[in-house]
Structure 1
Amino acid sequence: MNYSISDLEQLSGVSVHNIRIWERRYGALSPSRTPGNVRFYDDDQLKRLLSIAGLYHAGYKISKACRLSSDDMGKLLKEEVDNTLPAENRYSYFISQIISNALVFDERGVNDHIAKSFRQNGVAETYKFVIYPMLVRIGLMWLTESLCPAQEHFLSSIIRQKLFAAIDGTVGQQAGKQKWLLFLPEDEDHDIGLLLANYLLRAAGHQVVYLGAKVPLTAVSNTVTATQPHNLMLFMTRVRPIDDAQLYVTRLAALFPSAQIYISGNKNVMSGLKCADNIHWLATLPDFEKLISE
């Protein structure tokens, strides 16, 4: 798999500016070049950058980290270098290492780092500050097909398993909490964000009716009639014509006028829509957390 320098920025969290400085000053990476002299990077170069970023967040100087061989980096990263890190750096460390292990299909490595984050940060904090930012970081790569589909499915499968286990461990509905209906439109199938919302809602004591991905509006309508939810939530992540998105949200508002409808996903699409009073855009995870805690 080949990556541009902007792809590296999205996957590693390291800015293009810093990547270039690290290359020039410390020889961090050795990009290849196309016949047209355009630089590109392979999986090994991306994994090396993620390792360097991991060591950096673990407190190592960039100049020292860049001098290490890949084997030496691996040995250091296997040590407990993250135990005494401040929370912000610890989250970044786990994000870079989970992605790094996913790129080489190391299921044990991905699971070990998620489990370690559970122990150090707690389950809820891991989903909010490790899993969610990681999904945001690689989401653009998935949408532009810059990330290998096999890598996407591999990591998605592991995260989905963890979310199902976390959902099973939540308590039942608490008194005074509302009922939510969660679904994806029939042309959407990336359900990890929806599963995360499912977990956070249940953890907060709300009742959830979860329909999953690719749900026709007729099925949503039948479920609303049967369950009478207070709120509907969906994700629209696909790049789609504004007119198509506008038609869909207008139909939602008309079909379910008594419910509050919350949408998250592709901000470039949502920012161009005119929404009815019962349609609400959730731009960030803190927005959603604030909503469900009120």
Structure 2
Amino acid sequence: MQYSISDLEQLSGVHSHTIRIWEQRYNALIPHRTAGNTRYYDDQHLVRLLNIVSINQQGLKISQICKLSEEAIHELIEEDIENTISPDQQYEYYISSLLKHGMSYNEDKFSEVLSTCIDKFEMAVSYQYIIYPLLVRLGLMWRKESICAAQEHFLTNIIRRKIEVAIDALPKPSSSNTWLLFLPEDEEHEMGLLYASYELRKRGQKVIYLGPRVPFDSVSQVFEINRIDHMLIFMVQVKLVSTAQQYIDQLSEKYPKVGLHIAGNQKLIENLNLQDNVTWLTSIEHFDTYIQS
């Protein structure tokens, strides 16, 4: 895929002028050039930039990171992958089994193992200790280029279907408390949002689920015909803090009487100034505790 420098800015959360400085000072990226001398970037550039940002957030200077070979960067990512290994051997067995069957596109085996997890541990434990760690590991493997987009889509689509089946099996809501769940227009990774929908419905809450990539103006149409008590959004993508801040402020100010809840990218959200009606749900445990109360 082909990207402009402004595309990289939106996808990495690094300002365009900062990317140019990193290119000029440290050879962080070497862009391609069109016949008209316009710079452009490809998927490998994007992955390298995301790796640089991630390693920098762990404390290593940009100048040091850019001197590293691709092999050295992959070794650092491998350390992150090792940190996703569960200390519980039982959970790790299921994570590894799902990864093995998913990488080989074995839908029957993947589905069988996932169903066994859900039957044995129930959905909440399965998601927290098996599915979510698996998704984190997949993201790291993509950055290391040891998994392709097709494999990731294959895995996540089966997981999505399992969660949707679990949602369909739940009883009708017993509460008039209504939650509106959606992702902003630039967000497409909905697994966390889908699981949140399951947990809310399991506790008798009414849920209006809009899914990913919802235009801002579309949200107001829901409010025109529904009484909404809470909104929940996820911000998973790396993006500029100023962009995320503007979006949250707009939602908060437009719906001041609605509880706005945000989850997702910790490195992003911890840098936001959240208004009184905005709650940052920092973890699955925090979310569970909040909705139980």
Residue pair 2:84, 2:133 contacting (<8 A) in 1 also: no
For residue 137 of structure 1, what is the aligned residue in structure 2?
A: 137
Report the Cα offset of residue 10 of structure 1. 4.1
Residue pair 1:173, 1:207 contacting (<8 A) in 2 also: yes
Deviations for 1:179-200, whole angstroms, at most 9, x for unmatched residues? 1000000111111111111111
For residue 102 of structure 1, what is the aligned residue in structure 2?
A: 102
Residue pair 1:179, 1:207 contacting (<8 A) in 2 also: yes
SS in 1 for 2:212: strand
Deviations for 1:234-286, whole angstroms, at most 9, x for unmatched residues? 11111111111111111011111010111111111111111111111111000
For residue 91 of structure 1, what is the aligned residue in structure 2?
A: 91
* 2: CA distance, partners of 1:262 / 1:166: 23
Deviations for 1:4-30, whole angstroms, at most 9, x for unmatched residues? 234444445467xxxxxxxxxxxxxxx
For residue 181 of structure 1, what is the aligned residue in structure 2?
A: 180
For residue 123 of structure 1, what is the aligned residue in structure 2?
A: 123
Cα gap change, 1:236/1:223 in structure 2, threshold over 3 Å: closer, same or farther? same
For residue 195 of structure 1, what is the aligned residue in structure 2?
A: 194
* 1: CA distance, partners of 2:75 / 2:143: 17
Residue pair 1:181, 1:229 contacting (<8 A) in 2 also: yes
Cα gap change, 1:201/1:141 in structure 2, threshold over 3 Å: closer, same or farther? farther
Cα gap change, 1:255/1:99 in structure 2, threshold over 3 Å: closer, same or farther? same
Residue pair 1:229, 1:259 contacting (<8 A) in 2 also: yes
* 2: CA distance, partners of 1:278 / 1:127: 28
1:101 alignment partner AA: H
Q: Which moved more, 1:136-145 or 1:154-163?
A: 136-145
Residue pair 2:77, 2:144 contacting (<8 A) in 1 also: no
Q: Normalising by the residue count of structure 2, what TM-score does the alignment of the two structures yield?
A: 0.69
Report the Cα offset of residue 135 of structure 1. 2.3
Aligned residues: 222
SS in 1 for 2:233: strand
* 2: CA distance, partners of 1:247 / 1:185: 12
For the pair 1:5 / 2:75, whether they are aligned, the reply is yes
Q: Which runs of 4+ in 1 moved over 2 A?
A: 2-15, 122-125, 132-147
For residue 240 of structure 1, what is the aligned residue in structure 2?
A: 239
For residue 153 of structure 2, what is the aligned residue in structure 1?
A: 153
* 1: CA distance, partners of 2:253 / 2:144: 32
* 2: CA distance, partners of 1:214 / 1:104: 30
* 2: CA distance, partners of 1:143 / 1:155: 17
* 2: CA distance, partners of 1:282 / 1:143: 26
* 2: CA distance, partners of 1:145 / 1:207: 40
* 1: CA distance, partners of 2:134 / 2:163: 14
Residue pair 2:84, 2:137 contacting (<8 A) in 1 also: no
Cα gap change, 1:152/1:14 in structure 2, threshold over 3 Å: closer, same or farther? closer
For residue 283 of structure 2, what is the aligned residue in structure 1?
A: 284
Higher relative contact order (CA 8 A, sep 6+): 2
Cα gap change, 1:246/1:200 in structure 2, threshold over 3 Å: closer, same or farther? same
SS in 2 for 1:208: strand
For residue 256 of structure 1, what is the aligned residue in structure 2?
A: 255
User: Could you list the runs of 5+ residues in structure 2 that have no partner in the other structure?
Assistant: 1-69
Aligned Cα root-mean-square deviation (Å): 2.4
